[in-house]
Structure 1
């Protein structure tokens, strides 16, 4: 078998994991320098450093669902362990775990949104491609 390049692939490949890591940190997936988010969750239209268009993103509810999934899977076994081991007062558990749930959710949500946008950029999804009208 011979290897042939497919015409729909660009010569410049976008690195997946470095881009997602930049997005996790809240930086532009292209240059890694400029801030991706304006405010808490609002994605900038363009990167102020390299000028990369970021308005194509379609993160929608993905980061929120993933945040709920992660927080639930982390805290559910911890709640069970704490209750089985120490049997704290119900109001103590409600207070401590409510604060923990909110804090972890607030920490993860913007990071996961940045990672989602960077994933879409790296995979050339939703208009992040090289001008292909099928991507828009």
Structure 2
């Protein structure tokens, strides 16, 4: 069995961890994939041995995703309504798929960013 070695984040590495997480890479080395599936975290980094499963994102990524998507969709809906007064079906055909696509696209990088931030701040579960 392979023993994991812990990579201590260097001082000032918060941005590094955040950016590596957004790219869905290991926050420790930036080489290996952080997820084995859509948002399933790999237990250990195969390149550097970082125990990535020790960083629990839990409810933060969905919360941040809802926050971002809401700040994109709601102003868009209001602007569309004020400028063009479209039929309700136009709103449904526009904003339901937009909300779904934005949510699915943003959740993995946001979860990666949360894990990268936890790594940089040494916040293990």
Alignment TM-score, normalising by the size of structure 1: 0.82
2:24 equivalent in structure 1: 26
Q: Which runs of 5+ in 1 are unaligned?
A: 1-9, 128-136
TM-score, normalised via structure 2 length:
0.89
Q: How many residues align?
A: 118
What are structure 2's unaligned runs of at least 5 residues?
1-7
Corresponding position of 1:58: 56
2:69 to 64, 71, 89: 71
Structure having greater relative contact order (Cα 8 Å, sep ≥ 6): 2
Distance 1:107 1:12 in 2: 30
Question: Would the aligned equivalents of 1:26 and 1:37 in 2 still touch at CA under 8 Å?
Answer: yes
2:106 to 102, 105, 108: 108
1:23-73 CA-to-partner distances (Å, cap 9, x unmatched) read 001000011110001100100100121111111111001000111111111
8 Å contact kept, 1:14–1:123: no
* Bigger fraction of residues in helix: 2
The structure with more radius of gyration: 1
In the alignment, which of 105, 113, 124 is matched to residue 122 of structure 2? Answer: 124
Is 1:82 the equivalent of 2:70?
A: no
